Amino acid sequence: MKPMYLQRYSAGQRSNHWAVVACFVLAAVSGFALFHPALFWLSALVGGPQWTRILHPFLGAAMCLLFLGMFFMLAGANVWRSEDSQWLGSAGKLVSSEGGHADMPPVGKYNGGQKLVFWLFALSLLVLLISGLVVVWPQWFGGGASIGMQRMAIVLHAVAAVVLVLAVIVHAYAAFWVKGTLRAMTRGSVSASWARHHHPLWYRERMQNPSADARVK
């Protein structure tokens, strides 16, 4: 018998995700190059010093705009619920030798850790966008900002960038660590056994949904 797969992401959602990833990688590389002289050699990966300075703000703006589309598509499924707090409280079982997913509280499409990362993405990108506008284009967006406020914007920009990078590392690690997860963003579907094991509430909802896009044979 062929395994059954459940649709998790549409082609549009996956395209949006990978476009955000591409912008993030380029914006991060160019941003690190501008952050400290010791990292300025990274500018060679983005076309040299001049192109690094030119492209970084536009890459950042594109990343924020693309994520905005993702935000509207996924925010509803990332609303915090009581089971998410229970899941986070039991998260230690995932990394202990005695625990595992089978011992975790049942969750829907996203668990507490995934939702936390999602909202960290949203918050850090919002801070990056606002602070970036003040720092990079002060003549248009920071005209009323004092020197002190502009310096604060630089600090906030750097802190938000570090938070975003760390959140992306956790996000990417989890995608590779949990077998079968990466398929969701490459093919759009996951096996029914994967869904039943990791997201039992979402699995039940999908199995009860007779729509054509709920199941992929």
CATH number reported for the structural domain that contains residue 35 in this entry: 1.20.950.20
Cα–Cα distance measured from residue 204 to residue 191, given in angstroms and rounded to the nearest whole number:
13
Number of H helices, E strands in the chain: 10, 3
Full residue range of the structural domain in which residue 206 is found: 5-71+108-216
Cα–Cα distance measured from residue 37 to residue 26, given in angstroms and rounded to the nearest whole number:
18
Residue 77 maps to a domain: no
Burial class (CB in 10 A: 0-12, 13-18, 19+), 23: buried
Residue 27 maps to a domain: yes
126, two tokens: 């919002």
Q: How many domains does one find in the chain?
A: 1
Active site residues: 171
Residue 204 maps to a domain: yes
Q: What is the pLDDT of residues 17-55, one digit of tens each?
A: 999 999 999 999 999 999 999 999 999 999 999 999 999
Mean pLDDT for the stretch of residues 70-78? 95
Residue 66 maps to a domain: yes
Residue 95 maps to a domain: no
Mean pLDDT for the stretch of residues 103-112? 87
Helix (H, G, I), strand (E, B) or coil at 111: coil
Give the DSSP letter of residue 209. Answer: -
* Cα Dmax for the chain: 68
Q: In what order do the strands lie in the sheet with 189-191?
A: 189-191, 5-7, 215-216
203: Cα separation from own chain's centroid: 22
Residue 79 maps to a domain: no
Residue 137 maps to a domain: yes
Mean pLDDT for the stretch of residues 57-83? 94
Backbone angles phi, psi at 214, to 5 degrees: -80, -30
Residue 114 maps to a domain: yes
The residue length of the chain stands at 217
Q: What is the pLDDT of residues 123-139, one digit of tens each?
A: 999 999 999 988 877 76
Q: Is the pLDDT of residue 101 over 80?
A: no
